[in-house]
Chain A
């Protein structure tokens, strides 16, 4: 009798555990998707800021203090690499491949960030938290890494700046949630007669 009962309970426990795992898998999968959707919204908003700017102001803060504070996750990212000049951030440091605002009298990073306070486009790495303004869409924590690399002019195209936005989970920095990239022609927003491009 006891053996029969124990067997029945064992079988039921297995069935219950399976049922609970199915629910948990569904819920965890949906949470993961929600996190990716929020990260995409943040990356979209970040890239949109550069579309409003003039090409000369597109760049990141490369002052020594800011660059020294960047961690290995930022510097080892493939977005830092620039195949056309065979350099990577990991080997050569951020300043080797990335660019600050360039051209005739670009505005300072402090000024640019004041103009676009929601996205701080000149800041290479920042974390959005529930207390940020604006907070992340789902009130979660996200790290937004931005890379701006200068691509030299070739015989067939003008100089461009490549902006890559990578959104990561701060709790698992190796886990990239979203990566978006866009090219900006050096003629964007040029004043008449400018020799920047």
Chain B
């Protein structure tokens, strides 16, 4: 007969403990996976939002410096920077990348190459130009109207992150 101090666990005890631990481990795994997914979605959306904000700041700097847009469409704007004689051109444009669009800054007047400042834009038509004194009587400087929506994960983020701004051509006439 085994001494009391040497008594081990019975099979039933082991099975019960393992079942309980299995439940707990399963719970931990579920929390871990859903937590990681939520965090990575949020991180992706925050990254997209931050990039869009930085892109807008960079574009704001260029527009403030520019004399006027040399060429402008809904998807592209070419800015003439000082000395304002057409020798220093910078183009901001959107290009399709898969099912979304990216916003590029390129030295020169064509929309090829360059650096992508913002990704995951919902659409490519983000620019419109408001000329000097628009609306009439306001004596406002010329402005570049920006309306862009960033949405890295449309399935989870709903409408996404929308930036609307009227960037001022500080060197324009009124």
CA distance A115 to B132 in the complex (A): 13
| Contact residues, A1-54 vs B (CB, 8 A) | 1, 5, 8-9, 12, 16, 19-20, 23, 26-27, 30-31, 33-34, 37-38, 40-41, 44-45, 48-49, 51-54
Question: Closest residue of chain B to A53, judged by CB?
Answer: B140
Summarize A's interface: helix, strand, loop or mixed.
helix
Q: In the complex the two chains form, is A27's CB within 8 Å of B38's CB?
A: yes
Q: In the complex the two chains form, is B165's CB within 8 Å of A30's CB?
A: no
* One of A73-81, A83-91, A130-138, A166-174 contacting the partner: A130-138
A92 at the interface (CB under 8 A from B): no
Q: In the complex the two chains form, is B162's CB within 8 Å of A134's CB?
A: yes
Question: Closest residue of chain B to A40, judged by CB?
Answer: B53
Q: Report which of B43, B53, B141, B170 forms a contact with A37, defined as CB distance below 8 A.
A: B53
A118 at the interface (CB under 8 A from B): yes
Q: Report which of B24, B28, B57, B167 forms a contact with A19, defined as CB distance below 8 A.
A: B28
- Please indicate the chain B residues that have their CB under 8 angstroms from the CB of A54 in the complex: 139, 174
Given contacts A40-B53, A137-B161, contact A51 B13 (CB under 8 A): no
Q: In the complex the two chains form, is A52's CB within 8 Å of B35's CB?
A: no
What total of A-B pairs shows CB separation below 8 Å? 102
B56 at the interface (CB under 8 A from A): yes
CA distance A1 to B24 in the complex (A): 18
29 A-B residue pairs with Cβ-Cβ distance under 8 Å, sorted by A, are A1-B13, A8-B21, A9-B20, A16-B31, A20-B35, A27-B42, A30-B39, A37-B50, A37-B53, A38-B161, A40-B53, A41-B163, A45-B166, A48-B60, A48-B165, A49-B166, A52-B140, A52-B141, A107-B138, A116-B140, A118-B166, A119-B166, A134-B162, A135-B162, A137-B161, A137-B163, A139-B158, A189-B139, A189-B141
Q: 6 tightest A-B contacts by CB?
A: A23-B35, A115-B138, A134-B164, A52-B140, A51-B168, A45-B165
* A positions within 8 Å CB-CB of B: 1, 5, 8-9, 12, 16, 19-20, 23, 26-27, 30-31, 33-34, 37-38, 40-41, 44-45, 48-49, 51-54, 107, 111-112, 114-116, 118-119, 134-135, 137-139, 189
